[in-house]
Amino acid sequence: MSDRILILDFGSQFTQLIARRVREAGVYCEMRPYTMGAAEIAAFAPNGIILSGGPASVTLDTSPRPDPAVFEAGVPVLGICYGQQAMCEMLGGEVESADHHEFGRAHVDVVEDCALLHDVWSIGGREQVWMSHGDRVTRLPDGFSVVASSEGAPFAATADDARKFYGVQFHPEVVHTPHGAALIKNFVRGVAGCAGTWTMAAFRERAIAAVRQQVGDGRVVCGLSGGVDSSVVAVLLHQAIGDQLTCVFVDNGLLRHGEADEVVRLFQEHYNIHLVHVDASDEFLGKLASVTDPEEKRRIIGATFIDVFDRAATEAGGAGFLAQGTLYPDVIESVSVAGPSAVIKSHHNVGGLPERMNLKLVEPVRELFKDEVRELGRELGLSEVFVARHPFPGPGLAIRIPGEVTKEKADVLRQADVIYLEEIRSAGLYDSIWQAFTVLLPVRTVGVMGDARTYDNVCALRAVTSTDGMTADFYHFDMEFLGRVANRIVNEVRGINRVVYDITSKPPGTIEWE
């Protein structure tokens, strides 16, 4: 892998989006903390460096700075928001706290051309951008010129074409800057000279070769949940090492309708993967009895999964490696500028495996984002039923049943959920929605059905859209669709007499989905 971009993270909520935009331009990149030293930067050998935004103020002596080696590496540098300010201050410019803060949509006027803006923005044009800053550059270092400005940020975009150093006060990585992705592509492809050969076909071949080299003639055990990540990992490993792989599928009694049968049928019959199916639903539900705290439920499910998985893996025997579907966002969060997280995605992860298992980790998709894992799944020939399915957290229905979890509640929720998803698919909306699910609320209402008065549960419907996996808006169903779904659920699911639709949006920076 020759072409690569280094992104130094200063704590911005949007840093992952920078990486996404670079990958979308066909260029491999990695995020690292801003503390990365000169030797590490040299060893990484980037074609270009991007400095992210961040919450700190450059006007404070204690605020973070990149190693000066960034500007001595002989490669192009792009500073975004705080990154622009840090770069200008370190190279001899000045930054001050602004009297006029800018947060949200703004417009900049293009006053000069440069390699970063070339063929994307035109001189004299006005462009919409997304601002989020309190400080601003007030004097440029020698060699820099202003290429775009706004009322609140006179140096909204700056350039030193000779050294290939560029800075923008706005955030090109977010969708609210319409041509921002093109600017980032200009930087990595045009300015940094990357060829744009980062493809999933190339990744697949490299990942298979890496697994074979790491595992050798050893055996691997993989926890298969039926979700996108673990399914893709299982198929990739099977193509790499064949019968050296054993998958363990634990049914915790909190899965979607028909999911256990679907997983077993696909991986045992279609792929002929050695699959150990453990029905531990009674064990999970027994330990969840009377538990109402959501974090405690997660902890119990994670700990029980470890116990069940440990027993199954031991019975399978001989494995020296454990395969996990760790994704790049998990890696990023564990090495963020705030330090390793005490709990990372607590409702997805099992909380770590006991040392007694003594297994070495195999994490073949740890460099990928969620949508890239889906693309890899298609490259591997995995069924679209698994590749395109909506995210489903490890604790499953438990986090969609506020309060105590029982088999009866899970069965009611499953029935409502399958009706909801059936109607979404029938309407041709499934692929337009990031995630859709039902929630059994801890509320009961009085209603009249036929000639009888009922006192039953309320079911909430949720559906969100997302273009980046970081922000979300509720899906705008028409009332006819919602009426049809509500009517079916109330009529076909005993125990529910009212249906509501959740129209909550998720703000920038939120990456958990429940």
Catalytic residue among 29, 81, 114, 459: 81
In a domain, 513, yes or no: no
Residue 286, phi then psi, degrees to nearest 5: -65, -40
Q: Residue 143's closest CA among 118, 183, 184, 114?
A: 114
In a domain, 395, yes or no: no
Residue 172 has pLDDT above 80, yes or no: yes
235: CATH:
3.40.50.620
**Do 129 and 218 share a domain, yes or no?**
no
Predicted pLDDT of residue 36: 96
Q: 255-284, pLDDT tens digit by residue?
A: 999 999 999 988 888 888 999 999 999 999
Average pLDDT over every residue of 444-465: 83
Q: Is the model more confident about 328 or about 427?
A: 427
In a domain, 204, yes or no: yes
**Do 48 and 169 share a domain, yes or no?**
yes
In a domain, 392, yes or no: no
**Do 132 and 236 share a domain, yes or no?**
no
**Do 183 and 251 share a domain, yes or no?**
no
**Do 335 and 382 share a domain, yes or no?**
yes
Catalytic residue among 89, 127, 173, 259: 173
Predicted pLDDT of residue 22: 95
Q: 55-100, pLDDT tens digit by residue?
A: 888 888 889 999 999 999 999 999 999 999 999 999 999 998 866 5
Q: How far apart are CA 417 and CA 412, in angstroms?
A: 9
Q: 349-397, pLDDT tens digit by residue?
A: 444 555 666 789 999 998 888 889 999 999 999 988 888 888 887 788 9
Q: In this structure, are residues 243 and 344 in contact, taking their beta carbons and an 8 Å threshold?
A: no
CA 203 to chain centre: 19
Q: What share of the chain is helix, strand, coil (3-state, %, to 5)?
A: 35, 25, 40
Predicted pLDDT of residue 103: 73
Average pLDDT over every residue of 336-347: 40
In a domain, 242, yes or no: yes
Range of the domain at 248: 200-387
Which of 330, 360, 387 corresponds to the end of one domain?
387
**Do 329 and 428 share a domain, yes or no?**
no
Q: 176-203, pLDDT tens digit by residue?
A: 899 999 999 999 999 999 999 888 998 9
Both tokens assigned to 233: 């990992």
**Do 269 and 372 share a domain, yes or no?**
yes
> Residue 489 corresponds to which amino acid?
I
445: CATH:
3.30.300.10
Q: In this structure, are residues 176 and 206 in contact, taking their beta carbons and an 8 Å threshold?
A: no
Strand runs labelled E in 161-288:
165-168, 220-223, 245-251, 274-279
Predicted pLDDT of residue 369: 85
Predicted pLDDT of residue 417: 97
For residue 81, indicate whether it is catalytic: yes
Residues 204, 208, 209, 210, Cα dihedral to 10°: 100
Q: In this structure, are residues 28 and 203 in contact, taking their beta carbons and an 8 Å threshold?
A: no
Predicted pLDDT of residue 506: 62
Which of 387, 414, 441 corresponds to the end of one domain?
387
Q: How far apart are CA 421 and CA 437, in angstroms?
A: 8
What DSSP element (H or E) covers 13? none
Residue 128's Cβ-count burial label (10 Å; 0-12, 13-18, 19+) is middle
Which of 165, 191, 217 corresponds to the end of one domain?
191
Given its phi and psi angles, is residue 164 left (phi above 0), alpha (psi -120 to 50 degrees) or beta?
left
> Residue 110 corresponds to which amino acid?
V
Indicate the number of domains in the chain. 3
Q: In this structure, are residues 36 and 42 in contact, taking their beta carbons and an 8 Å threshold?
A: no
Predicted pLDDT of residue 225: 86
Q: In this structure, are residues 468 and 21 in contact, taking their beta carbons and an 8 Å threshold?
A: no
For residue 114, indicate whether it is catalytic: no
Strands 48-51 and 94-110, by their bridges, are unpaired
Residue 347 has pLDDT above 70, yes or no: no
**Do 350 and 429 share a domain, yes or no?**
no
Given its phi and psi angles, is residue 35 left (phi above 0), alpha (psi -120 to 50 degrees) or beta?
alpha
Both tokens assigned to 36: 């990365």
Q: In this structure, are residues 250 and 278 in contact, taking their beta carbons and an 8 Å threshold?
A: yes
Given its phi and psi angles, is residue 396 left (phi above 0), alpha (psi -120 to 50 degrees) or beta?
left
In a domain, 267, yes or no: yes
In this prediction, residue 344 has a pLDDT band, given cuts at 50, 70 and 90, of: very low
Q: Is the model more confident about 151 or about 39?
A: 39
In a domain, 346, yes or no: yes
- Please tell me what DSSP assigns to residue 390: P
Catalytic residue among 171, 238, 347, 390: 171
The alpha-carbon radius of gyration of the chain (Å, integer) is: 25
pTM: 0.78
Q: 115-149, pLDDT tens digit by residue?
A: 999 999 989 999 999 887 678 888 999 999 999 99
* Cα distances (angstroms) measured from residue 485 to each of 25, 383, 488: 40, 27, 5
For residue 262, indicate whether it is catalytic: no
Predicted pLDDT of residue 301: 94
C-alpha count within 13 angstroms, C-beta hemisphere, residue 424: 25
186: CATH:
3.40.50.880
Predicted pLDDT of residue 343: 37
Residue 436 has pLDDT above 90, yes or no: yes
Q: In this structure, are residues 215 and 360 in contact, taking their beta carbons and an 8 Å threshold?
A: no
Residue 24 has pLDDT above 60, yes or no: yes
Count the neighbouring beta carbons within 10 Å of the beta carbon of residue 278: 16
**Do 325 and 219 share a domain, yes or no?**
yes
Q: Residue 461's closest CA among 470, 429, 471?
A: 429
Query: What's the whole-number average pLDDT of the chain?
Result: 88
Both tokens assigned to 21: 């935009």
**Do 336 and 418 share a domain, yes or no?**
no
In a domain, 510, yes or no: no
CA 113 to chain centre: 35
Average pLDDT over every residue of 462-481: 83
Q: Is the model more confident about 341 or about 189?
A: 189
Q: How far apart are CA 440 and CA 457, in angstroms?
A: 7
In this prediction, residue 337 has a pLDDT band, given cuts at 50, 70 and 90, of: low
* Cα distances (angstroms) measured from residue 191 to each of 77, 121, 231: 9, 15, 38
Average pLDDT over every residue of 306-310: 91
> Residue 284 corresponds to which amino acid?
F
**Do 145 and 290 share a domain, yes or no?**
no
Q: 211-247, pLDDT tens digit by residue?
A: 999 999 999 999 988 888 999 999 999 999 999 999 9
What would you measure as the largest C-alpha separation in the chain, in angstroms?
83
Q: In this structure, are residues 221 and 246 in contact, taking their beta carbons and an 8 Å threshold?
A: yes
**Do 30 and 132 share a domain, yes or no?**
yes
> Residue 288 corresponds to which amino acid?
L
Average pLDDT over every residue of 6-14: 90
What DSSP element (H or E) covers 10? none
